[in-house]
């Protein structure tokens, strides 16, 4: 509190140097303490000023603050913060939204009761094509057909699906068409034997 009323009391008293040094040793992360200690060393022309300046350069990332503080270039104008400007602009925006919604409600209430009913032409319903997701998920796409799927169809004795899968695979992968043709023949023989 004493510094706030009289900032000069810390900086010129050599007895305060030891207190400030102890403060920086106890709380090494306290940047303002380091600045006061450095400034008091500068005012006292102490020989350890250079060493402490190197430490402060590492501790305080903004070197302009250090040089301005040491050279008494700190802006001492009182800061006046207008807390109403930001919040009042926001509140005015909110009030504008409320006024819009109020006018919408008023317009709704002023319209006659039948104004919102559909006319007879609008009431005719058009048939809607619903897609059954189960059927859609079961439908095979050419991208999803693999050799493994064809083998699964074969193992499950779903020969028609296996045949279609191998035919699609032979078109998709012509380099393996001989293998797929042999699988198709194998399935057709099994199909003929089971019939």
pLDDT for 184: 94
Examine the pLDDT at 127 and tell me if it is beyond 80: no
**Comparing 43-47, 88-92, 110-114, which segment has the lowest mean pLDDT?**
88-92
Every domain of the chain and the residues it spans: 2-70, 142-194
Length of the chain as a residue count: 195
Query: Is 0.75 topped by the overall pTM?
Result: no
Average pLDDT for the chain: 77
User: Where is mean pLDDT largest: 36-40, 91-95, 168-172?
Assistant: 168-172
Q: Is the pLDDT of residue 194 over 90?
A: no
pLDDT of residue 142 exceeding 80, the answer is: no
DSSP class per residue in 124-172: PPPP-----HHHHHHS--GGG--HHHHHHHHHTT-HHHHHHHHHHHHHH
pLDDT-derived band of residue 1, with 50, 70 and 90 as boundaries? very low
CB 164, CB 150: distance < 8 Å: no
Highest mean pLDDT (candidates 23-32, 74-83, 177-186): 177-186
> What is the C-alpha separation between 140 and 165, in angstroms, rounded?
10
């Amino acid at each position: 509190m004493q510094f706030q009323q009289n900032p000069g009391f810390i900086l010129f008293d050599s007895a305060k140097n030891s207190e400030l040094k102890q403060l920086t040793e106890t709380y090494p992360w306290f940047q303002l303490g380091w600045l006061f200690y450095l400034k008091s060393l500068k005012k006292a022309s102490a020989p350890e000023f250079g060493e402490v300046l190197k430490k402060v350069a590492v501790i305080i990332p903004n070197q302009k603050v250090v040089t301005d503080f040491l050279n008494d270039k700190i802006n001492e104008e009182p800061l006046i913060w207008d807390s109403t400007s930001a919040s009042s602009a926001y509140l005015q925006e909110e009030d504008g939204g409320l006024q819009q919604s109020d006018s919408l409600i008023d317009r709704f209430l002023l319209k006659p009761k039948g104004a919102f009913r559909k006319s007879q032409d609008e009431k005719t319903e058009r048939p809607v094509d619903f897609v059954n997701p189960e059927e859609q998920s079961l439908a095979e796409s050419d991208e999803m057909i693999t050799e493994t799927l064809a083998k699964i169809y074969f193992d499950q004795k779903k020969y028609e699906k296996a045949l279609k899968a191998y035919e699609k695979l032979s078109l998709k992968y012509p380099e393996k068409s001989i293998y797929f043709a042999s699988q198709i023949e194998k399935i057709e023989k099994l199909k003929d034997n089971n019939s």
